[in-house]
């Protein structure tokens, strides 16, 4: 499985934008970039995914580098409810299994 | 909208007992994944099913078995429970064609005493 690298933790203030980076230099052409988040004692929650183009949904935006070796999850206005562990995961080919690595613990300050 | 339903939410068992965890995927989702998350750990893939057949297997102990039934619900059976099996167990489902993201259930918290 192609690996991703994320910072262990990040901190933000409420109502400010948050940019969560992810490096995936060994990504292959068929790998999709998925982002999930997990709040304490809850199941992981799908946030967004993309292949090559930037993507937007009601929760966040995903900016993908032109060479696809990195991506950034953007929360436009962080709220206290966005405090969670964010996972960047590559899924590709016939194997659609999610393999969780070490995500980024996002702390949001009031 | 319907979500992934897991039961029970909490389960307390003694060592060497057996436990059965159930997962009801979103209607028309034909693929189910099971994950185990120990305290302070990231979720670890156990096993998956597609159209009632095992499709992939991860770090699942031989003491554990699972199956997917004709109505697509899945059960994870755990025997000879050990203290180290205490964890949150999540299942997730995805729709046909693997479009979009996984939908996870709220999990079953298993405590082995």
Question: Which residues from A are below 8 Å from B98, CB to CB?
Answer: 96
By C-alpha distance, which of B9, B36, B21, B108 is closest to B67? B21
Considering only the beta carbons, identify the residue of A48, A96, A100 that sits closest to B43. A100
Closest residue on chain B to A87 (Cα): B42
Q: pLDDT value at position A92?
A: 80
Structure tokens that stand for A26 in this block? 């060994």
Put simply, the answer to whether A97 touches B33 (Cβ < 8 Å) is yes
pLDDT tens-place string over residues B40-77? 999 999 999 999 999 999 989 999 999 999 999 999 99
pLDDT tens digits, one per residue of B44-54: 999 999 999 99
DSSP A107: E
Tell me the CA distances in angstroms from B26 to A12, A18, B32, B87, one per residue in order.
34, 31, 10, 23
**A94 in B contact zone (CB under 8 Å):** no
Residue A97 is nearest to which of B45, B106, B107, comparing CB atoms? B45
**pLDDT of res. B1:** 65
A39 CA to chain B: closest CA distance, Å? 11
Q: What's the mean pLDDT in A71-92? A: 95
Going by pLDDT thresholds of 50, 70 and 90, the confidence category of residue B21 is very high
Contact call for B106 and A42, based on CB within 8 A:
yes
Q: What is the mean pLDDT of residues B2-26?
A: 96
* A92 in contact with chain B, both atoms CB, cutoff 8 A: no
Which of the residues B40, B42, B91, B99 would you substitute to probe the A interface, choosing the one with the greatest number of A C-beta atoms within 10 Å? B42
The mean pLDDT of B18-38, rounded to a whole number, is 95
Min CA distance, A67 vs chain B (Å)? 23
| Mean pLDDT on A85-100 | 86
DSSP conformational letter for A92: B
User: What is the Cα–Cα distance from B12 to A101, expressed in whole angstroms?
Assistant: 28
Averaged pLDDT, A56-64 = 95
Question: A-chain residues within 8 Å CB-CB of B92?
Answer: 43-44, 98
pLDDT of residue A97: 85
Q: Which residues lie below 8 Å from residue B97, measured CB to CB, with a gap of 6+? A: none
> Best of A98, A99, A103, A104 to disrupt the B interface by mutation (most B CBs within 10 Å)?
A98
What average pLDDT does range A58-80 have in this prediction? 96
Burial A93-105 (b: 16+ CB within 10 A, else e): eeebebbbeebbb
Mean of all residue pLDDT scores within chain A: 93
* Residue A94 confidence class, pLDDT cut points 50, 70, 90: low
* Gap from A70 CA to chain B (nearest CA, Å): 20
- Cβ distance A98 to B42 less than 8 Å, yes or no, reads no
């Amino acid at each position: 499985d192609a690996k991703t690298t994320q910072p262990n933790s990040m901190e933000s203030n409420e109502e400010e934008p948050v940019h969560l980076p992810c490096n995936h230099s060994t990504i292959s052409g068929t790998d999709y970039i998925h982002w999930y988040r997990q709040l304490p004692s809850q199941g992981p929650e799908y946030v967004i995914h993309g292949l090559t183009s930037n993507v937007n949904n009601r929760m966040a935006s995903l900016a993908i580098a032109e060479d696809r070796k990195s991506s950034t999850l953007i929360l436009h206005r962080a709220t206290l409810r966005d405090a969670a562990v964010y996972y960047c995961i590559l899924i590709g080919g016939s194997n659609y299994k999610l393999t969780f690595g070490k995500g980024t613990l996002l702390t949001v300050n009031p | 909208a319907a979500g992934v339903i897991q039961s029970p939410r909490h389960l307390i068992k003694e060592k060497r007992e057996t436990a059965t965890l159930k997962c009801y995927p979103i209607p028309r989702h034909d693929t189910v994944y099971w994950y185990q998350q120990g305290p302070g750990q990231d979720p670890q893939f156990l096993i998956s099913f597609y159209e009632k057949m095992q499709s992939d297997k991860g770090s699942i102990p031989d003491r554990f078995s699972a199956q997917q039934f004709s109505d697509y619900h899945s059960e994870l059976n755990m025997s000879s429970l050990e203290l180290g099996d205490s964890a949150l167990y999540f299942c997730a489902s995805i729709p046909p064609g693997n479009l979009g993201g996984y939908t996870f259930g709220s999990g079953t918290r298993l405590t082995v005493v």
